[in-house]
Amino acid sequence: MIQRIQTVYLIIAIGLMIAFFFMPFGYTQLADPATGQYKEQALKGIEFLGLIIPTALAILTMVIAVFSFRKLQVQQTLVIVAALFIGACVGVVIYVLSAGLYDTNPEVTARTIWGGGGLLLIASWLALFGAYRGMAADRKLLRSYDRLR
C-alpha cells in the first residue's frame, strides 16, 4: 500500500512558512537620540516585500503540490521549486541581518540581532526534504508494482 506521508510533511512545511510570516526573525536596535537608549523593533517576514513574495510563492507551490498527488513527478518538481523559494527567503533573511554590520556610513547606528524565526525556514526545508523522500519512495514502490504486472 502506498503511504502518503509526503502530504503530512507538506502541510507541516506550509504551517511553518505561515508561522514565519508572523514570527520575528530578528530585531533592530534603534538608538533614541533624546535618551540615548536603544529600543528593539521586531523584524517580521510580513514587513518586507523581499520576503513576502518568495514566501507566498513557496506556500502556493506547496499547496499545489499537496493537490497534485496523482502525478508524482509534478509533485516532486513543485517541492524542488518550493525549496528554491525558501532558499531565496533564507538569503534575504541573512542579508537583512548582516546588512547593518557592513554599512560603511558611520552615522548609521542600527544594529540587528538574531531573533530565531529564521529557524522556521530551516525546519520547513527539512519537512520538504522528508516530503521529497516520501515521493521518491512512492515512485520506487510504483515501479516495483509495474514490474510485477
pLDDT digits (tens, 9 = 90+) for 104-140: 555 556 677 888 888 999 999 999 999 999 988 888 8
Average pLDDT, integer, range 17-42: 82
Bigger pLDDT: 60 vs 144: 60
pLDDT of 37 > 90? The answer is no
pLDDT of 35 > 90? The answer is no
The pLDDT of residue 56 is 95
> Three-state SS for 27?
strand
Residue with cell 506547496: 62
> Three-state SS for 108?
coil
Q: What is the pLDDT of residues 78-105, one digit of tens each?
A: 999 999 999 999 999 988 888 765 655 5
CA distances from 119 to 19, 66, 87 (A): 11, 23, 12
CB 42 within 8 A of CB 115: yes
* Rg value, the chain, Cα: 20
This prediction has a pTM of 0.83
pLDDT of 1 > 60? The answer is no
Q: What percent of the chain has pLDDT over 70?
A: 87
Report the side by side order of strands in the sheet with 111-114: 38-44, 24-31, 111-114
Q: How far is it, in rounded angstroms, from Cα 10 to Cα 62? A: 6
DSSP E strands in the chain: the ranges are 24-31, 38-44, 111-114
